[in-house]
Amino acid sequence: MRLKIIQIVAALIAALAFLLAFMAAGVVFVSTVFMAAGLAAVAWLAWSLIRQVGARGRKPAGMSRP
C-alpha cells in the first residue's frame, strides 16, 4: 500500500515540475518578445535621429538663422 502512495506523490511532483518548466519557458518567450520590441524601438529611434541629423547637414548655409 505504501508503494502506491509514493507513486502518487511522485506523479504529483513530476506534474508540478512540468508545470513549472512550461511556465518558465513561457516567461522566457514573453521576455524575448518584449526584448525584441524594445530593441526595434531603439533601432528606429537611432535611425530617425541619424536621418534627421543627416538632413540638417545638407541644408544650404543661407537657410539657417544667424
2-32 pLDDT tens trace? 678 889 999 999 999 999 999 999 999 999 9
Q: Is 24 among the domain residues?
A: yes
Is it the case that residue 62 has pLDDT exceeding 60? Answer: no
Q: How many domains does the chain have?
A: 1
Q: Is residue 36 part of a domain?
A: yes
C-alpha cell at 30: 514573453
65: in domain:
no
Residue 30 located in a structural domain: yes
Residue-range definition of the domain harbouring residue 32: 2-51
Handedness of CA 36, 40, 46, 49 (dihedral sign): negative
59 found inside a domain? no
Q: Does any domain span residue 21?
A: yes
In a domain, 63, yes or no: no
pLDDT tier at 57, thresholds 50, 70, 90? low
State pTM to two decimals.
0.59
